[in-house]
Structure 1
Amino acid sequence: MLDRLTSMKVFIKVVELGSFAAVAQRLNLSPQMVAKHIEALERHLGARLLHRTTRRQSLTETGRLYCEQCHLVLKAAERADSLAANTLGTPRGTLSVSVPVTFGRTVFLPFLHDFQKRYPEVQFQLSLTDQRVHPTMDGHEAVIRIGKLDTDLTAISRPLTAYRRVICATQNYLEKHGIPDTPEDLTEHQCLVYENAGGPVTTWSFSRGSITRSVPISGKIISNDSSVLHSAALAGDGILLGYEPALLPEIQNQSLVRILSHWTIPDRPMHLLYNAGSVMTPKLRIFVTELQQAFPP
C-alpha cells in the first residue's frame, strides 16, 4: 500500500511540473510509479484529480480543491516533525527566510554558508526581495526588514546592525561633472534613483553635528533593482546612494570614489522578524541567535 503523504507530495509535483515524466525525473521515480501514486489517490477519493493527455496533465475541479488541501496537510506534517525535533533539540528541517536583496547578496549569503557548515541538517528556502514582507501573512518563518517597523506589527522583532549607506561615483563622472561639496550640489547632478513600492525615492537626507539637510534629487535612471543602479554607477552614469558593505570593495580599489564624506547619511534600522505565535523550533531558535551574534545592533 502506498504512503498517502508521499502520494500527496507526488501529486503536488505533478501539478507544479505538468507531466509524469518531469516528476519522475525530479523525484527519481519511474513514470509508472508516479502514475500509481496518482491512481491510488483517485481510488481513495473515488474521483478523478487530473485530465490526462499524452503530453500534459491538467487539474479537474476536484483536483484543484484537493491540491490546496494537500499543501495544508503537508505543511501540518512538517510542523509536526518540527515539534518532534523540538523535543530532541536538534536543528533540522527547512527554514523559510525573506531577506533584502543587497543585504542578502552581500553579507547574508556568507553568513548562510557558515551557518550551514555548523548546522548541516538545516535547509533554507531563501527569498530575496525589497518588498515589505510579513512573517505571518507571507508564509515565511523569519524576515529581515530594513526601515521603521509598523506600530501595529504583531511579529517579534530583534534589532540587527543598522543598514549603513554611502554616496559615491566614478572618477570619470566626477571629472566631467564636478565633485559635489554640499548636499545641495546634488540637485545639479545625475543621481541614480531607487524606486520602492511607494515610488521613486527622490529625497536624500544628510546630517553634520546639529545640522540636517534633506535635498531633492533626480536622474535619468530609476530602478527598483539596486544592482542595476550599482552597475550604472560603475558605468559612470551618475551618483549612487548605496549599502556600504556592497560598495566598499570598489571604493577601496578606487573603481568608485566616496563623496560628501564630511556629511553623515542617517543609518536605516534593520530588524529580524518572526511570528509571535510560532513554536521556537531548534532551527528557528539557533538561526535567531546566530544572526544576532553575526549582525549585532
Structure 2
Amino acid sequence: MDRFTALNVFRQVVELGSFAAAARQLNLSPAAVSKNINELEAYLAARLLNRTTRRLSLTEAGSRYYEQVARVLDDLSEADQSLGPLQQQPSGTLRVSAPMSFTLVRLAELVPRFLERYPQLSLDLQLEDRRVDLIKDGFDLALRGSDRLEDSSLVARQLTTLNHVLCGSPEYFRRHGVPSEPDDLRRLECVQFTLSGHATEWVFQRGEETRRIAVHGRYRVNSSLALCTALRGGHGVSLVPELYVREDLAAGRLQAVLKEWQMVQTQLYAIYPTRRYLQPKVRAFVDFLVQELGRDSSV
C-alpha cells in the first residue's frame, strides 16, 4: 500500500461522497479506489466507512481519522506551496560561513551590493576560520581557501586565486638584511600562518628550479590579519596573500622580496552540499561572487 495515495483516496471519497466520484477526481479506476480503502482499513485495523450500494457514511473512527488526515494533507500541501517562491527567485535566509581575514579585507564591501540586488533575501554571515560541517552546522555554503582541495562529496566552485608575496617591514630588512635567495630565510624570523597548507614549508619556483624551505619562527598565528600586524610591527617575514597587504605595499609599510620567484597560490572556493535542486539563493550568491571576484587583479 502506498499510504500517501491511500490517504488522498480516503479524503476524496469522504469529501465527494462516493467511490466513483473519487475515482474520476484522482484518475483512478473504481476498483483501485476500493482497493486503497480496504488496504487502509486493514492497516489501521479499523473500519472507516460504512458503505452500501446506495449510501456511504463515516464510522466514528473514520470521522475522527478524517479530521486528522485532512489537516495533515493540508499542511503538506501548504509546505509544498511555500517552497515555490524559494525555488523561483532568491529569497529567505542564506547562511554562509567565511574566513575572517578574507571577509574583512574583501567580502564585506561586496555584501551591501549583493543585498541591494536581492531585496527578498537575508544574509546570515558567520566569520570563522575553522572548517565548518555544512550539514551539521546548518550552513547553505562556505567559503574556503586551500592550496589543494581535499576529496569530498561536497561541490566546490572556484571563485578566485590569491597570489602570495613574501614580505616584511623595511625596518626589519634594514636590521636583518634583505634576502637575495630563498635559503636566506633560514636566518630570518618567519611568522607562520597555522591554518594554511604551507605553514611549515614554503615552496619557491623559478623556471625549472624549486626550493623548499622548512619554516621556523617564534610566532605562530591562525589569523592573517594578526600576522600582517606583526609584519608591520617589524617582527619577521611571512608569505601573505597579496590582496591582504596591497595597501601596505603601496604605502611602503611593507616591502615585498624575492619577487623573481613564484610563490604559493591559494584558491578560494564556494563549497555547498549538492548541485541537484540548488536553491536560487545559493546560486545567486555564488554567481555574484564569481562575477565580482573575477574583476580582482589578483585572479
- TM bin, normalised by shorter chain, reads 0.5 to 0.7
- Aligned-partner residue type, residue 230 of structure 2: A
1:123 to 1:276, Cα distance in 2 relative to 1, 3 A: same
Contact 1:134 1:143 in 2 (8 A): no
**Residue number in structure 2 paired with 1:173:** 172
Separation of aligned partners in 2, 1:169 and 1:225: 16
**Residue number in structure 2 paired with 1:222:** 220
Contact 2:164 2:241 in 1 (8 A): yes
- The C-alpha deviation readout for 1:93-139, integer Å capped at 9, x for no partner, is 21111112221111111121211121232221112222223432332
List aligned pairs for 1:99-110, cutoff 5 A. Answer: 99-110=98-109
Separation of aligned partners in 2, 1:80 and 1:231: 51
Match of 1:271 among 264, 269, 272: 269
Percent identity of equivalent pairs: 30
Separation of aligned partners in 2, 1:285 and 1:121: 15
Match of 2:278 among 262, 280, 287: 280
**Residue number in structure 2 paired with 1:189:** 188
**Residue number in structure 2 paired with 1:62:** none
**Residue number in structure 2 paired with 1:210:** 208
Separation of aligned partners in 2, 1:140 and 1:82: 20
Separation of aligned partners in 1, 2:274 and 2:243: 31
Aligned residues: 217
Separation of aligned partners in 2, 1:114 and 1:255: 31
List aligned pairs for 1:47-66, cutoff 5 A. Answer: none
TM-score, normalising length from structure 1? 0.67
Separation of aligned partners in 1, 2:216 and 2:265: 21
After TM superposition, the structure 1 stretch with the greater mean CA deviation from structure 2, 167-176 or 108-117, is: 108-117
Residue 81 of structure 1: how far off its partner (Å): 8.2
**Residue number in structure 1 paired with 2:22:** none
Match of 2:244 among 246, 258, 279: 246
Q: What is the SS of the residue equivalent to 1:181?
A: coil
Separation of aligned partners in 1, 2:124 and 2:80: 19
- Which runs of at least 4 in structure 1 moved beyond 6 Å after TM superposition? 79-82
List aligned pairs for 1:80-159, cutoff 5 A. Answer: 83-87=83-87, 89-147=88-146, 148-151=148-151, 153-159=152-158
**Residue number in structure 1 paired with 2:162:** 163
Separation of aligned partners in 1, 2:182 and 2:229: 23
Contact 2:162 2:243 in 1 (8 A): no
Residue 289 of structure 1: how far off its partner (Å): 1.3
Separation of aligned partners in 1, 2:229 and 2:171: 14
Give the gaps of 5 or more residues in structure 2.
1-78
Residue 181 of structure 1: how far off its partner (Å): 0.7
Q: What's the Cα RMSD here? A: 2.3
Separation of aligned partners in 2, 1:278 and 1:231: 43
- The C-alpha deviation readout for 1:142-193, integer Å capped at 9, x for no partner, is 1111112222x11122112112211111111000000011111101001111
